[in-house]
Amino acid sequence: MLVQSLLAGESVRKVAARVGIGPDMVSRFLLEAGAACREFHDRTVLGLSVESLHCTRVWGFSYIHRRNAYMPEISRGIPRGGWAWAAHHAGSGMVVDWAVSAGDGLAAEAFIRRVRKRLSTPMAVRVLERDILLERGSPETGETALLSRLFGRDRREDRNEAGRDALAAAGDFRRRCLNLELALAFHFTCHNFLADAARTPPAVRLGLVARGWPVDTLLAMGAHEMIP
């Protein structure tokens, strides 16, 4: 019930009330399962041979509200908000990778480097409206400038000169990004591998696994081990 409620998109408090446990236990399960899902994904989704991938900013969140934009952490290069990035294979529906970080060109470049490590062939960057399209081809030298024009480029000052408050805010921003990334790991892993009567899981379509997972497999993910 806990897994099914989370996959249905219910809030942590609503899931806790439905299952009869505390919200902190629901959050802890989500983070532990997300960490195990991320570890499994990093081990399994490698050496992919695909023709193209769509990389896009899925959604964003506000870390520092606009009314607090005068705070010193803004001038120290800490992003005002974060973005969730996702690389999607249109043919199979597989979410190849994801990340939660800043939304500028530097973050886009770092995400693309992560995605390329999962592929078996070189991929070149192309622009598709406001999205990034990775197609087979040799990477070009002007990718950094292209991504900066598309998503902008934040000016980051030396973090060593930041005060104690700014460093604390930077650490809190990284923790929030990590927690959201682990939550995405749980949901995207379920999307990629979980058996569904209405569809074939994307991981099966792409040939990564022979059959989809039962829900019981997800219950074992918190132990960081997979059921054979």
Tell me: the pLDDT tens digits for 156-165? 443 444 455 5
Cα separation of 96 and 48, whole Å? 9
Q: Residue 88's pLDDT is what?
A: 94
pTM, to two decimals: 0.80
Q: What is the per-residue pLDDT across 117-149, written as a single tens digit (0 to 9) for each?
A: 999 989 999 888 778 899 988 888 888 888 888
What letter represents residue 68's amino acid? N
What percent of the chain lies above the pLDDT cut of 90? 29
Query: Sorting pLDDT into bands at 50, 70 and 90, what band is 154?
Result: low
Contact 66, 47 (CB under 8 A): no
- Mean pLDDT of the 190-197 span: 87
> What is the CA angle 31-196-38, rounded to 5?
25
Query: Based on the number of CB atoms within 10 Å of its own CB, is 64 exposed (0-12), middle (13-18) or buried (19 or more)?
Result: middle
Type of residue at 50 = V
pLDDT at 89 exceeding the cut of 50:
yes
Dihedral sign from CA coordinates of 186, 101, 118, 129: positive
Distance CA 35, CA 42 (A): 11
For residue 197, what pLDDT band results from cuts at 50, 70 and 90? confident
